[in-house]
Chains A and B, each alone.
Chain A
Amino acid sequence: MEIKSRITDTRINAENIFIELSYKEYIEIARLITLNNPLQRKRVKSSNTVYSLLRNDLKKGCLVPPIVLALSNDNHQELSEISDEEILNYLSEHKENLIILDGLQRTYTFLDVELELMNSKDEEQLQKFYNHKLRMELYLGINKFGILYRMLTLNTGQTPMSIRHQLEILYKDYLDQNINGINLVSEVDNDSINEIRMYKFNDIIDGFNSYLERNELPIDRFELLNNIKGLEKLSVENHKKDLFKDFLIAYDTFIIKVQELSDGWEFNQSSQEELEVSSRKLDGQPFGRVVFKIFNKSQPITGFGAALGKLKDFNKINDFEEWESKIQNITFNGEFEDWILDLIWHLDKIKVNSKKIGNSQRLYFYWFFRELFNEDSDSYLNLSEAVTNGYQRYRSQME
């Protein structure tokens, strides 16, 4: 393994290292990555012809385009000042943290050819194969967001990865971790999340994705990554910050504030009676029985993400820290239960009438948050107004 060139990418504040290495050295790294990272273990069936061509070419030692990798830890070392030798050592020590930004399918082909040659017991051919050279581009980044941006601009492969998939890969080390007192957990039943400040990792990824895309709907997996609009949005973000973390903390702050305002409110028999008195009988169970259980679901989180993104586009807000201070000024009219029963009632009506309940609920939450955080709206920082006006905006969009 030999470092051939080093350039600091000032756009994303990362060191780009151009390495020449043997197939054998690369395969060792690749095996570790695919073993340790289930998200990078998936492969796709490509055309049989192209596949066999590539396999044969590799046996002969063709030069594949450089495989692009990144080290995804948040190390604050000043990497541009470290020597080549130290870089290589650092790489050796942190192989498990590598992620493949571009070249996953090629990597699989390498592993397949190795297996094929090992099975054929042709030792000579195998050694020849191992000794062929390839090039690797390694981003040593101190910032996840910068890597995300680079991943998105790079990924023009045949079967593109969705933004969502890339987010999962990039932020996987936040899973099962405590971030400022917030817990992100892996896929569990909604019912198992019984604490405030605990969220499903996938829901937060969805929410962050919604922020980036300015769209609360789950993204079609088959949509290509030619999302020019999305890239443009990303390019204006401050790459020095951990946007994902900021997003999570802002949302959590919102829930904490509302939970505080609720003074322990819970949906109970008297809430049901309150609804029936105003001719609003729920068709099924309420969307949630306590504040945090209403808001820790993917529908409000994605609505929040999309709304904030949109407001940022309209220059109504600059960064998440600004949000956090605004959140402290949230209020409501009358009793706390009034606005939250309105919310529950609207969500129930949506459930009864909608063709895709989840999507419709997301859209409603989107309008709710847009009304709540837009200083030009009548509902600015007022939960009661936001619930009602948000519902009207939702209805007019559905018709």
Chain B
Amino acid sequence: MAIKDTEVKWNKKMNLKLKVSDENIVNLGEGAFFQEDSSIVFKEMNPIEYTYKIKHLLNVDKIHNENDYMVFTFYNNSFAENDIYQVYDHASSTRIGWTFPLQSLLSNNHDYAHNEHFLPYALVAFKKLIIEEFPNSLIPEVTLDGEYNLGDFYNADETIIMVLNKNQTRDIENFSIINYLPFLYGKGYYADNYNYKSPISCNGKRLNLKVTSEEIRNDEFIIQLFQKLLLQDNHHLVRFYLLYQVIELLIEKVFKKEFSEMLDSLGTDEKTLFQIKEDLGNIAKEKKRINKLFTVYTRKQDIKIRLMESCNEILRSIGRKQFTDPSEALYNVRNLFVHEYRSIPMENHYMIESINDLFEELVIEMTNDLRNLK
């Protein structure tokens, strides 16, 4: 094969592997991209020359430098091949890339197979998935003709790809994909490949990424929650507690905020000791802090109402008081689960799952909806 000047060589061994036999698994050697063949070709010289080829199945039109891009893999097994979206950063309204199922790299049947904006991103993804190490890669058996495609090395039934342009993300302060994990989780882009809760859901042609609020952006628990903990197969109580931990985290911040404001005002307001003690007592009360979280420090209402109705359903089912305030309803359900789980009949446990689904939705919305909590 003649070497063209459109050849791009990487002087490193690829991480992908092939299975020659049960005992013999080989690494692909050094590879190069050949544009005329739309393939990455590996040559092994020992003992004699063998050539392997991984073919890119879409057209190659413009070639962008893959070093200008970041590629991420997400997982979900419930999607359409046509779930191809432009990715925007919601806050700045800038387009930063594309997201698409791996399946869309293996087929010409979707709407973007000849789209001049999509195709360069598709090629970047193809190259990066071969050169760099990505989780959950497969090891195919050696074929008679030495030809492979990307679907042999990654599971097209559940892998979703995101390609972001560094030139665009550079303009976003301290950009990191981790900052979008809760939002992405809510849209069906899961960080790992087990327990998919919902299908990919995106309206229209765009995925508008909402960033986690600054107040909790670097919190390790929040990151772990959406990267791992919620993905596991959890008992409904565990799931509730995990989600409630977020509330605990947030109301602690509410306390600090309000306490700090109280301290600031001490010098200026004329308050008696009694009043100060009462005020302090109030901001310490869990119930009050949750209420403040729901009404002052976050805004969106719809999900809170639906959660309240779901909480009321379970409370009603065991003859307890109903609530008209979402934060109170949640707080009471929390107490019910902690202190009186045994009072809930087994046939009503499905209600706990419904509460959890809505609670999860609320927590996700809260992660990017916090205001004035710094």
Contact = CB atoms under 8 A, between A and B. Distances in A.
A binds B: yes
Interface of A: 42-48, 51-52, 112, 159-162, 165, 190, 221-222, 283-285, 351-358, 361
A355 B44 CA distance: 36
Contact of A52 (B26, B47, B107): B47
A356 B48 contact: no
A356 B103 contact: yes
A82 B154 CA distance: 56
Interface string B18-38: 101100101000000000000
A284 B81 CA distance: 14
Given A165-B144, A222-B143, A352-B82, A357 B110 contact: yes
Contact of B47 (A48, A160, A283, A356): A48
A221 B142 CA distance: 10
Contact of B20 (A47, A160, A190, A222): A47
B18, B47, B140, B156: residue with the most chain A Cβ atoms closer than 10 Å: B47
A50 to B, nearest CB: 9
A43 B142 CA distance: 10
A285 B111 CA distance: 8
A160 to B, nearest CB: 8
Contacts of B157: 355
Interface residues of B, number: 31
A351 B48 contact: no
B20 A283 contact: no
B6 interface: no
B144 A222 contact: no
B105 to A, nearest CB: 12
Interface string B48-80: 101010000000000000000000000000011
A222 B145 contact: no
B141 A356 contact: no
Contacts of B101: 355
B176 interface: no
B146 interface: yes
Given A43-B50, A44-B144, A361-B109, A353 B80 contact: yes
Which 6 pairs from chain A and chain B are nearest by CB? Answer: A357-B109, A42-B145, A284-B111, A357-B81, A358-B109, A45-B50
A390 B274 CA distance: 80
A221 B81 contact: no
A353 B15 CA distance: 34
A51 B47 contact: yes
A45 B82 CA distance: 36
A362 to B, nearest CB: 10
26 contacts: A42-B145, A42-B146, A43-B50, A44-B142, A44-B146, A45-B26, A45-B146, A46-B20, A47-B24, A159-B143, A162-B144, A190-B108, A221-B143, A222-B140, A285-B111, A351-B82, A351-B109, A351-B110, A352-B80, A353-B80, A354-B82, A355-B79, A355-B81, A355-B157, A357-B109, A361-B109
B50 A355 contact: no
A53 to B, nearest CB: 12
Nearest to B78: A355
A358 B20 CA distance: 30
A192 B52 CA distance: 29
A354 B44 CA distance: 39
Q: Which of A165, A285, A351 has the most CB of B within 10 A?
A: A351
A44 B143 CA distance: 7
A352 B112 CA distance: 12
A221 B148 CA distance: 10
Nearest to B21: A47
The listed residue with most B CB atoms (<10 A of its CB), out of A352, A353, A356, is: A356
Given A45-B26, A357-B109, A159 B142 contact: yes
Nearest to B79: A355
Contacts of B82: 283, 351-352, 354, 357
A355 B20 contact: no
B225 to A, nearest CB: 28
B144 A159 contact: yes
Interface string B105-149: 001111100000000000000000000000000001111111100
Nearest to B141: A222
Given A355-B79, A355-B157, A357-B81, 8 more contacts: A42-B145, A45-B26, A51-B47, A159-B142, A354-B80, A355-B103, A357-B107, A361-B109
